[in-house]
Amino acid sequence: MNCIQLTQARRAAADREVRQRLSASLSRHLEVSLGRLLMLLAAVVPGVAAAEFDYALRAQRVADGVYAFIGKTEDFTPANGGNIVNTGFIVAPGGVIVIDSGPSRRYGEQMRRAIAAVSERPPVLVINTHHHPDHFLGNQAFGDVPLAALPATIEGIAGEGNAFAENLFRLTGDWMKGTEVRVPQRPLAAGRTEVAGRRLRLLALDGHTGADLAIYDEASGVLFAGDLAFFQRAPTTPHADIGRWLAALDQLAAITREPGFHALVPGHGPLARDAAPLLQTRAWLTWLQGALRRAAAAGLDMNEALARPLPAEFAELPVAASEYRRSVGHLFPAVEQEVLGGGH
């Protein structure tokens, strides 16, 4: 090998060494950046980086044979996966009665496993209290179990269920993966009924939606109020009729005064041993209705109504500001027409 060839070989070797060092440095940089990105995602959106999408469902004992899964008092986010709802179950002599199935197929599956950890008896009936998505999109996990609801709830799920599921996917992401709408087939009616040897009182009400089912387990004295009752969280109103909702609260309050009453499970928020969720829901709805009417009577437009501050009573209530904004959008046009239209 002559001098020129030797020089070229040395240069080629040096070039290879430089490329190898650059490659190693770039790999280390990418590993560090990826690690930092995953740490940031885990901190900002807990659960997104977790492959198992664990809702961490733990059955809370409400009474003998009655349990609830209590969700977060938050809005839907990719962090909570839609776990902002209360669901529950009753262990009856002939099997388990499930009350609402949660916001996704994953939730329903994890709920079913959590139920199995409490009782070996199989689920025999799933009841959907109303047609909002966080209460029925887990139905898919109970494909071998009859699904039941009020007739208008069945119609609502059939008509709006897919749109609800798509919206919840936008709000919570891959927690919803694989979720499909399962429409209840068994219609329910108001009155006393026996399910799997357990005596239930079904109350067919409305106000939060066009059909709201409350379930009173007479053996334990536990009232599952569905979304007619919110506690330590502002109520939602996309399908609300406040007047009818207030009337429904009267009927539920009467149950809490019966001698055998033991506990109330609201649709959102912690369970209570008294009527506190009903009282707080009533206070919010009464204020909201009055505030919207006063704003309309004062000639305010929607933006001006939105700018009005919350009263001190509700200022610290979780999601109060966002739910107020949504409620103005849902309800103000009709209130404005009612107030300004007067007797015309």
User: Measured between alpha carbons, how far is 304 from 341 in angstroms, rounded to an integer?
Assistant: 19
pLDDT of residue 5: 44
Pick the CATH number of 60-286 from 3.40.50.300, 3.60.15.10, 1.10.1060.10, 1.20.1440.230: 3.60.15.10
The backbone torsions φ and ψ at residue 332, rounded to the nearest 5 degrees and listed phi first, read -60, -40
| 287-328 pLDDT, tens digit each | 999 999 999 999 999 999 999 999 999 999 999 999 999 999
| 128-176 pLDDT, tens digit each | 999 999 999 999 999 999 999 999 999 999 999 999 999 999 999 999 9
Q: Spell out the domain ranges in the chain.
A: 60-286, 289-341
Residue spans of alpha helices (H) in 48-180: 105-118, 151-172
Share above pLDDT 70 across residues of the chain, in percent, rounded to a whole number: 84
The full DSSP string for 188-215 is --SEEEEETTEEEEEEEE-SSSS-EEEE
pLDDT of residue 52: 79
pLDDT of residue 342: 64
Query: Cα–chain-centroid distance for residue 103?
Result: 6
| 232-286 pLDDT, tens digit each | 999 999 999 999 999 999 999 999 999 999 999 999 999 999 999 999 999 999 9
Q: Residue holding tokens 């961490």?
A: 56
pLDDT of residue 24: 43
User: Measured between alpha carbons, how far is 324 from 305 in angstroms, rounded to an integer?
Assistant: 10
260, containing H or E segment: none
| 191-220 pLDDT, tens digit each | 999 999 999 999 999 999 999 999 999 999
User: Measured between alpha carbons, how far is 256 from 297 in angstroms, rounded to an integer?
Assistant: 37
68, containing H or E segment: strand 66-69
Helices (H) and strands (E) in the chain, counts: 8, 12
With a cut of 60, say whether residue 77 has pLDDT above it.
yes
pLDDT of residue 166: 96
For the residues 52-79, what does the mean pLDDT come to? 96
Structure tokens that stand for 175 in this block: 């927690």
The backbone torsions φ and ψ at residue 314, rounded to the nearest 5 degrees and listed phi first, read -115, -5
User: Measured between alpha carbons, how far is 101 from 139 in angstroms, rounded to an integer?
Assistant: 6
